[in-house]
């Protein structure tokens, strides 16, 4: 096996964007070496290399990488990885996957350490999986305990730790220096070999198609790429609505193209929803998406694939641990997660094992939230524990019940105080990797329709809204967006609503309630609070 050291090779840098997704092709050895060794064009003195389309790495000194038919293997050292979307590598016999963002991988002396800098990481060995949320790291020695070893051993081998802020900031700033340049379209049909069947278990695809079929699919791909590149979102939706075109995007080549573009359209809920419906046919991709800061709201709005026992366990035990970012999980996601936990517990031979172990994790997380200044987050999780205490007290241990009762003594924090405190939290180091955006002094004259839509989407997302294929956000003028069929959680369930949103002041008005227009204005915060009463 050829084991090239990439330390002194200056390669052509791939087009990169934190907000898009890639699934790479199954290149044979000659093609892979051509893509990494021959294109000595950019002469980048930073030591940044393209290993696949849309996947860049920066190896540390003396790092050794092997390249085989399907995957890049880290033999020794460490790499900083920035991907447009899904990246798959290997180290120490373990497969490492991540999606749309920046990660750091280190492998030395048989020990693997992965750091989820701005995107979650999934580590797999055989049937055993480890899911590492953003801003956390995981270290393993090649042994990942299975569920057969018992729950305590299973949890212990999957315990992440928080990444030191200094390290995370340094690595994100380094990744921000990677060149950014979206590619012109290259037909996936012209690529050598597709690895999607082997890597992600996507739909089976016959290579014995006729030339006419290939040409037809190729035309669908070219049209979609042009529409995405030009921002013609409505036309892109119409293309996927056409059964003939839509069938092409369910082929591996079509899925690859959507994967390269899905996060680029993440602020277009209807279109991103359609993309993910086609893409998420593998439980590992769903696990990476459902806790991804930029994809989680969309991923939770579609039907997830059937989860293996391992993936299901990761899902219920990882979500509360992942909720440590400045933007907290929307309440509807917490509610759906809680329903999953209760359903799994009820179907188990001994519900107490699941309920007690997750309750202990939540108690620890609440203490972290209180310490770090996330009072509303702590309040939301306390409500979950109070509900379990009321409904499942027979299955909770005396120690867990005592912990819950102690939490009840904690001071309740008003929503207004929460918003003030969370707005004054320590600056998120992830912002260091984002493009600087100057303040808008005259929003009336400066906001474009796309900016109005983008702001409306962000405000609604942060307020815990659920976007569906029926959701529509339309800019009415320089500062107002008309919002239709946006879903919020209410005591009566998840319901759609319609109103106008001022994206500058954050006020909601022209609210349609039971067929009538409410004659007054509310802040979005107050409106959401009113819906929950």
Q: What is the pLDDT of residues 340-384, one digit of tens each?
A: 999 999 888 889 999 999 999 999 999 988 888 788 888 889 999
Q: What is the pLDDT of residues 232-289, one digit of tens each?
A: 888 998 999 888 888 888 888 888 778 777 667 777 878 888 888 887 777 888 899 8
pLDDT tier, 45 (very low <50, low <70, confident <90, very high otherwise): low
**Residue 319: predicted pLDDT:** 94
**3-state SS record for 171-219:** HHHHHHCCCCCCCCCCCHHHCCCCCHHHHHCCCCCCCCCCHHHHHHHHH
- pLDDT above 60 (res 210): no
- How far is residue 80 CA from its own chain's centroid? 19
Q: Largest Cα–Cα distance of the chain, in whole Å?
A: 73
Length of the chain measured in residues: 533
Options 1.10.3470, 2.40.128, 1.10.10, 2.60.120; CATH of 29-176: 2.60.120
Q: What would the two tokens of residue 350 be? A: 């001994």
**Residue 411: predicted pLDDT:** 53
**Residue 137: predicted pLDDT:** 95
**Residue 426: predicted pLDDT:** 36
Q: Count Cα neighbours of 509 within 13 Å in the Cβ-side half-sphere.
A: 10
**Residue 285: predicted pLDDT:** 85
Helix or strand holding residue 77 (H, E): strand 72-91
pLDDT tier, 450 (very low <50, low <70, confident <90, very high otherwise): confident
Which of 75-84, 210-219, 261-270, 505-514 is least confident? 210-219
Structure-model confidence comparison of residues 437 and 281, the more confident one:
281
**Residue 520: predicted pLDDT:** 67
Asked if 379 contacts 362 with a C-beta cutoff of 8 angstroms, the reply is no
**Residue 208: predicted pLDDT:** 35
Which of 11-15, 157-161, 228-232 is least confident? 11-15
Q: What is the pLDDT of residues 398-421, one digit of tens each?
A: 999 999 888 887 655 443 444 444
Asked if 121 contacts 103 with a C-beta cutoff of 8 angstroms, the reply is yes
Structure-model confidence comparison of residues 120 and 29, the more confident one:
120
- pLDDT above 60 (res 5): no
Q: Count Cα neighbours of 303 within 13 Å in the Cβ-side half-sphere.
A: 4
**Residue 202: predicted pLDDT:** 33
Average pLDDT, rounded, for the chain: 75
**Residue 441: predicted pLDDT:** 36
Extents of the domains making up the chain: 29-176, 323-436, 439-531
**Residue 360: predicted pLDDT:** 95
Buried b (16+ CB within 10 A) or exposed e, 479-492: bbbbbeebbbbeee
Per-residue pLDDT averaged across 199-212, rounded?
36
Q: What is the pLDDT of residues 127-146, one digit of tens each?
A: 999 999 999 999 998 889 99
Q: What is the pLDDT of residues 459-478, one digit of tens each?
A: 888 888 888 777 888 888 77
């Amino acid at each position: 096996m050829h084991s090239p050291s990439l330390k002194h090779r200056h390669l052509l840098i791939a087009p990169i964007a934190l907000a898009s997704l890639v699934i790479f092709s199954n290149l044979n050895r000659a093609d892979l070496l051509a893509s990494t060794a021959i294109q000595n064009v950019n002469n980048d003195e930073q030591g940044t290399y393209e290993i696949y389309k849309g996947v860049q790495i920066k190896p540390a000194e003396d790092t050794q990488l092997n390249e085989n038919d399907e995957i890049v293997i880290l033999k020794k050292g460490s790499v900083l990885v920035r991907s447009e979307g899904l990246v798959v590598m290997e180290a120490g016999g373990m497969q490492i996957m991540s999606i749309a963002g920046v990660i750091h991988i280190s492998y030395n002396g048989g020990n693997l350490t992965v750091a989820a800098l701005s995107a979650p990481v999934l580590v797999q060995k055989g049937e055993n999986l480890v899911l590492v949320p953003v801003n956390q790291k995981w270290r393993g020695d090649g042994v990942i305990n299975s569920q057969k070893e018992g729950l305590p051993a299973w949890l212990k081998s999957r315990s992440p730790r928080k990444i030191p802020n200094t390290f995370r900031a340094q690595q994100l700033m380094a990744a921000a220096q990677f060149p950014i340049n979206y590619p012109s379209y290259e037909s996936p049909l012209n690529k050598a070999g597709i690895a999607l069947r082997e890597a992600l278990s996507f739909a089976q695809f016959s290579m014995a198609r006729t030339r006419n079929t290939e040409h037809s699919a190729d035309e669908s791909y070219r049209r979609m790429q042009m529409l995405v590149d030009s921002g013609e979102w409505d036309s892109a939706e119409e293309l996927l609505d056409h059964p003939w075109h839509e069938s092409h995007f369910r082929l591996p080549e079509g899925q690859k193209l959507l994967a390269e573009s899905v996060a680029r359209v993440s602020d277009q809920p209807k279109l991103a929803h359609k993309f993910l419906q086609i893409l998420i046919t593998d439980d590992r991709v769903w696990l990476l998406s459902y806790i991804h800061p930029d994809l989680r709201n969309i991923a939770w709005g579609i039907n997830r694939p059937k989860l293996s026992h391992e993936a299901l366990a990761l899902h219920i035990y990882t979500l509360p641990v992942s909720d440590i970012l400045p933007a907290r999980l929307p309440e509807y996601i917490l509610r759906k997660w809680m329903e999953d936990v209760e359903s799994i517990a009820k179907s188990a031979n001994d519900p107490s094992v699941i309920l007690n172990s997750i309750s202990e994790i939540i108690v620890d997380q609440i203490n972290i939230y209180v310490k770090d200044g996330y009072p509303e987050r702590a309040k939301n999780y306390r409500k979950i524990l109070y509900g379990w205490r009321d409904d499942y007290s027979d299955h909770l241990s005396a120690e867990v019940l005592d912990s819950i009762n102690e939490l009840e003594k904690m001071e309740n924090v008003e929503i207004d105080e929460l918003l003030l405190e969370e707005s004054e939290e320590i600056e998120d180091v992830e912002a260091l990797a984002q493009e600087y955006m100057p303040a808008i002094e005259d929003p009336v004259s400066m906001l474009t329709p796309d900016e109005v839509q983008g702001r409306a989407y962000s405000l609604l997302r942060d307020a815990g809204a659920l976007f569906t294929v029926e959701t529509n956000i339309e800019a009415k003028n320089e500062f107002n967006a008309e919002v239709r069929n946006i879903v919020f959680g209410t005591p009566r369930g998840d319901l759609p609503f319609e109103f106008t949103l001022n994206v500058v002041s954050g006020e909601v008005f022209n609210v349609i309630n039971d067929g009538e227009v409410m004659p007054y204005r509310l802040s979005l915060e107050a409106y959401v609070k009113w819906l929950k009463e």
